[in-house]
Amino acid sequence: MQGLSRPEIILALDVDTIEEARDFADKLYPKIKIFKVGSHLFTAYGPKVIEMLHKHGAEVFLDLKYFDIPNTVAKAIEAATRLGVKMLTLHISGGKEMIEAAVKAAAYQAEVLSSIPPLLLGVTVLTSIQADKDEVLGMAQHGLDYGLDGVVCSVHEAEILRSQIKKNFIIVTPGIRENNSAGDDQKRVATVAQAQKAGSNFLVIGRPILKADDPIAKTEALLGEIYGRGN
């Protein structure tokens, strides 16, 4: 996991309708192979969105940021595992019992299905607010100790986590922007190059592609930034 030399783009489907989501999947798969389904789209359409993406051959990052009592989260993780998502999020601040219940639930349900459990990713501090790097480091260390596969954090903490945590884990980085673009409601943003240098495995990109005049050309340009180096 940690040894990936180049990160992979995840398109954040932060759109209003399943028709818009389908249109982006039609245009961008397989240039982009993983699509993020968040609370907005999932609340509106539920598993239909995931089924639609799977029909394209795409994988799903289910970003619902689970945070509840252990049994409730465990049941949600079992349901997500049955949906066949590649990865999902939960809040590290939910604590040891919640995370361990989630890990156990994913492994159990995957065994029942003879499938691979989803990657469980812990949310440290949302990129829409400022964060203390030591706080993020401590949260990430706890989450990984409790059994998570990786963490979601900004580029500004990713490099520190890579240098300080001596184990194999995934880093998913939201808030990817271009040098000359605004951060919108994101406070801790970074470019593709900065995220790659920091050791991120997956880059969650939404508005730079969704709002582009030509989403296909924009995706190809971003992929060029990733794969154009070191070849």
Residue 65 designated active-site: yes
CA 61 vs CA 28, 69, 193: distances in Å: 16, 22, 22
Taking the CA atoms of 67, 69, 72 and 76 in sequence, report the sign of the dihedral they define.
Answer: positive
How far is Cα 185 from Cα 97, in angstroms, rounded to an integer? Answer: 32
Residue tagged active-site, from 65, 86, 187, 197? 65
165-194 as b/e: b if 16+ CB within 10 A: beeebbbbbbbbbeeeeeeeebbbbbbbeb
Tell me if residue 140 falls in helix, strand or coil. Answer: helix
Strand partners, 60: 35
Catalytic (active-site) positions = 65
